């Protein structure tokens, strides 16, 4: 069906996530680029095309052309260069762009680089910028919908229809904080309890502070190469791109058909499974988009890790922990590792690549592999964009 070249991931790097007021955008990019180039065993000059994922250029940080300043700072100037915007899925859009450059035969080696700085401005202003990311004219201008509020609309509808509770949502946060505490690059490394979540301040009902991911600074870099280059460079453990699926949803929330799932999740995952020729039960480890706790529950159902309406049951039974049916977000997820918006997609790929190579940063959170297949599910906005990437060792 798709006559494209095989593409492998040959190098990955990830900066420390957190409040990184010690570095500017280019210096932060460097912290991911350098280890990814060393991991691949190449030089910056070998990289023919760079796709950068970032959404806050000129808004929550000062540079308008982050791809250009990052490329110059990291020795990547002269490579083909672009910035990809798919809101919180910008990193995955960048990964798709780098993948496509190699798969098409246009390039032999390409880089996807996610970089975001969200903490140079105050929180209400950050909330303003992110809230505007939907349909400004019709849903923000008069109504001030915030990003937590978009997902809160889904949370209330899901709770009403399927009996999902605030405690169920809290369990997602508890799990993801538990794994973040084992991940030295995570932003929030504190373990929390269900009571901590339930007693935290309401942000947009029913979502409370600990149902929400933090605003994080961070970068992640992924280098991809053709099969010929993998052989030439004698890469030990190439991780192959088995399939990428994508889809989108309406800008206006009022135009969605229901509020209990994201249609873009369903369409993108089905496309990825079909191309990769795998079924959800063959996935050894998954990264799903948990910007809010409800988003992880929606993802379980939408990408087929369980039936519709059974997401809460999956988390209650501990099936998404290591040792369960399908471990999810064992790096801490967006919820606790952090969510530097344009970086997240690349950071998900970083994590599942390390998992598939059986070199998760801390051995305690290495998932046992059976099929050597992993999945990254990355949503932009509230199902405005979705990318699902399946990797195989």
Partner 1 sequence: MASMPSIKSREIKIVQEMPISKTLKFWEGLKEGKVYATKCRKCGRLYFPPSADCSECLCSDMDWVELSSEAEIETFTHVVFRPTSFCEYKPYTVAIGKLKEGVRVLAWLTGFKLSQIKIGMKVKLVAKISQEGNPTYEFVPF
Which of 89, 253, 283, 326 is the binder for partner 1 (CB under 8 A)? Answer: 253
Q: What is the distance in angstroms between the CA of the first residue and the CA of the last residue of the chain?
A: 22
Should residue 64 be labelled a site residue for partner 1 when binding is judged by CB under 8 A? no
Should residue 144 be labelled a site residue for partner 1 when binding is judged by CB under 8 A? yes
Which of 44, 65, 68, 127 is the binder for partner 1 (CB under 8 A)? Answer: 127
Is 339 part of the annotated catalytic residue set? yes
Please state, in angstroms and rounded to a whole number, the distance separating the CA atoms of residues 8 and 6.
7
SS3 string, 270-328, reads HHHHHHHCCCHHHCCEEECCCCEHHHHHHHHHHCCCCCCCCHHHHHHCCCCCCCCCCCE
Should residue 146 be labelled a site residue for partner 1 when binding is judged by CB under 8 A? yes
Should residue 139 be labelled a site residue for partner 1 when binding is judged by CB under 8 A? yes
Number of residues located near partner 1, criterion CB under 8 A: 44
363: CB partners within 8 A, 6+ apart: none
Should residue 62 be labelled a site residue for partner 1 when binding is judged by CB under 8 A? yes
> What angle is formed at CA 315 by the lines to CA 310 and CA 319, rounded to 5 degrees?
100
Q: Which candidate, 330, 236, 231, 350, places its Cα nearest to that of 285? A: 330
Cα dihedral sign for 100, 101, 105, 111? negative
Comparing CB distances to partner 1, the nearer of 54 and 92 is: 54
Q: Among residues 158, 177, 289, 339, which one is catalytic?
A: 339
Min CB(338)–partner 1 separation in Å = 16
Dmax over CA atoms of the chain, in Å, equals 58
Comparing CB distances to partner 1, the nearer of 156 and 282 is: 156
What are the structure tokens assigned to 223, written together? 């280098």
- Is residue 71 helix, strand or coil? helix
- Is residue 344 helix, strand or coil? helix
Comparing CB distances to partner 1, the nearer of 160 and 281 is: 160
Q: Which candidate, 46, 55, 100, 115, places its Cα nearest to that of 78? A: 46
Should residue 160 be labelled a site residue for partner 1 when binding is judged by CB under 8 A? yes
Query: Residue 144 gets which letter from DSSP?
Result: -
Residues in 83-102 that interact with partner 1 by CB under 8 A: none
Residues in 5-44 that interact with partner 1 by CB under 8 A: 21-22
Q: Among residues 84, 88, 346, 386, which one is catalytic?
A: 88
Is 88 part of the annotated catalytic residue set? yes
Min CB(229)–partner 1 separation in Å = 40
Residue 61, beta-bridge partner list: 57
Which of 106, 165, 237, 252 is the binder for partner 1 (CB under 8 A)? Answer: 252
Should residue 119 be labelled a site residue for partner 1 when binding is judged by CB under 8 A? yes
Q: Which stretch binds partner 1 (CB under 8 A): 73-81, 174-182, 184-192, 197-205?
A: 197-205
Comparing CB distances to partner 1, the nearer of 131 and 327 is: 131
What are the structure tokens assigned to 298, written together? 């929606």
Should residue 137 be labelled a site residue for partner 1 when binding is judged by CB under 8 A? yes
Comparing CB distances to partner 1, the nearer of 91 and 311 is: 311
Please state, in angstroms and rounded to a whole number, the distance separating the CA atoms of residues 3 and 143.
47
Q: Which stretch binds partner 1 (CB under 8 A): 138-146, 190-198, 306-314, 347-355?
A: 138-146
Q: Which candidate, 282, 219, 272, 220, places its Cα nearest to that of 241? A: 272
Should residue 138 be labelled a site residue for partner 1 when binding is judged by CB under 8 A? yes
**What residues act catalytically?**
88, 339
Question: Given the rule CB under 8 A, which residues bind partner 1?
Answer: 21-22, 62, 119-120, 122, 124-125, 127-128, 131, 135, 137-139, 141-146, 148-149, 152-157, 160, 201-207, 252-256, 258-259
């Amino acid at each position: 069906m798709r006559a494209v070249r095989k593409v492998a991931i040959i190098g990955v790097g990830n900066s420390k996530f957190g409040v990184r007021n010690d570095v500017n955008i280019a210096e932060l990019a460097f912290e991911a680029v350098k280890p990814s180039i060393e991991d691949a065993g190449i030089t910056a000059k070998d990289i023919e095309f760079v796709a950068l994922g970032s959404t806050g250029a000129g808004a929550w940080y000062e540079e308008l052309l982050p791809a250009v300043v990052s490329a110059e700072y990291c020795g990547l100037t002269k490579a083909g260069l672009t910035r990809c915007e798919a809101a919180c899925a910008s990193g995955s859009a960048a990964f798709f762009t780098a993948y496509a450059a190699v798969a098409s035969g246009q390039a032999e080696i390409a880089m996807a680089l996610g970089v975001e700085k969200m903490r140079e401005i105050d929180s209400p202003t950050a909330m303003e910028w992110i809230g505007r990311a939907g349909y400004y004219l019709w849903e923000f201008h008069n109504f001030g919908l915030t990003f937590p509020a978009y997902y809160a609309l889904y949370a209330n509808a899901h709770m009403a229809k399927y009996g999902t509770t605030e405690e169920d949502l809290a369990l997602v946060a508890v799990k993801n904080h538990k794994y973040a505490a084992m991940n030295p690059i995570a932003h929030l490394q504190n373990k929390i309890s269900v009571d901590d979540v339930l007693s935290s301040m309401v942000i947009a009902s029913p979502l409370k502070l600990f149902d929400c991911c933090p605003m994080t600074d961070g970068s992640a870099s992924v280098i991809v190469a053709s099969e010929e280059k993998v052989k030439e460079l004698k890469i030990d453990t190439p991780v192959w791109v088995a399939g990428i699926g994508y889809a989108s949803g309406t800008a206006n929330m009022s135009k969605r058909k229901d509020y209990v799932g994201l249609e873009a999740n369903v369409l993108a995952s089905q496309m990825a499974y079909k191309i990769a020729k795998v079924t959800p039960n063959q996935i050894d480890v998954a990264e799903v988009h948990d910007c809010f706790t409800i988003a992880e529950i929606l993802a379980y159902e939408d990408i087929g890790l369980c039936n519709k309406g059974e997401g809460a049951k999956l988390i209650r039974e501990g099936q998404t922990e290591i040792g369960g049916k399908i471990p999810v977000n064992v790096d801490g997820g967006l919820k606790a590792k952090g969510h530097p918006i344009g970086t997240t997609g690349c950071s998900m790929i970083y994590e599942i690549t390390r998992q598939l190579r059986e070199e998760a940063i801390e051995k305690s959170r290495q998932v046992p592999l059976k099929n050597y297949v992993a999945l990254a599910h990355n949503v932009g906005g509230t199902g405005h964009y979705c990318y699902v990437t399946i990797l195989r060792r």
